[in-house]
Amino acid sequence: MSSALTRVAYAYDRLRAYPPEVAGRIATAMANALQVKGEEPLLLELGVGTGRIALPLIARGYPYLALDNNPAMLEVFRQKAAGVMRKVRLLEADARDIPLPGESVHGVIVVHLWHLLPDWPRALAEALRVLKPGGVLLEGWDRVEAEVEWRLQERWRALVEAEGFRVERGLHQRRLAEVEEALKRLGLKPKVRQVVAWREMRTPREALEALGERLYSFTQAVPEAVHQRVMPRLWAWAEGELGDLDRPFPVEKSFYLRASRLG
């Protein structure tokens, strides 16, 4: 496993984590959506990452299948879940080819994954294949409002496009809409609700680090050489425009949950 992959996994875990009270609210909403009677619910999360969704559910006693194709993410997850691994099984696999039999889990959790998969219909079909009758697909996503962070991201985009590479933004929301339409065509009835809204404080330095480590999906198609050329220019621009890079700014966040039940 490369040191670069491990570094990015730790950066993701630190910079994209939910506050404990937020993580708890999300876990409660997902647990309430299961509505399983007569047996212990088994959960599968596709793209589990370092466990920001999984760990609060595991702490509540749910058996958990944690799937990701990134071994570094799974290793960080393994370390964090070391004390509660009795009911956890790690699956290093692709969400488009889930190594489980059909109708084997009560809930499939997907948070911030569809837009990373060009052939997402295959992953959606797999998610529905492994769900038991009456099982539920639980999709989650964040909405974020932060003027300073947006300015930094847009400046990064402008610098990259000045190098001749187009950056696509907004794919995440478009993909959520596409998945919703696909679910409706299958006769399902997706229901969306806002689970929690909160405010965090972040510094420009942390926002720059997240961009530098390419933690956002819109950064990942850009050639590494181009990314490495523009980041020093972005840091210099930020220092000139923002001054103190350690002065916190507010980030308004909310988490949404979409539940689609089979049968």
From start to end of 82-223, where are the E strands?
A: 88-92, 105-111, 131-145, 191-202
Cβ atoms 207, 148 nearer than 8 A: yes
Rounded Cα gap, residues 61 and 87, in angstroms: 8
Q: Which of 86, 84, 80, 261 is nearest to 187 (CA)?
A: 261
Identify the pLDDT of residue 8.
81
Give the β-pairing of 64-68 and 191-202.
unpaired
Where in the chain are the domains?
3-145+169-201+251-261
pTM of the model: 0.93
Q: What is the largest CA-CA distance in the chain?
A: 62
SS3 197: strand
Write down the pLDDT at residue 38.
Answer: 85
Q: What span, in angstroms and rounded, lies between the C-alpha atoms of 250 and 181? A: 34
Are the C-beta atoms of residues 222 and 160 closer than 8 Å to each other?
Answer: yes
Task: Identify the architecture of domain 3-145+169-201+251-261 in CATH.
Answer: 3-Layer(aba) Sandwich (3.40)
pLDDT number for residue 9: 78
Mean pLDDT for each 10-residue chunk of the chain (263 residues)? Answer: 71 85 98 92 96 95 96 92 89 97 98 94 98 97 96 98 94 96 98 98 96 92 96 98 96 98 92
Distance CA 149, CA 207 (A): 6
Identity at 191, one-letter amino acid code? K
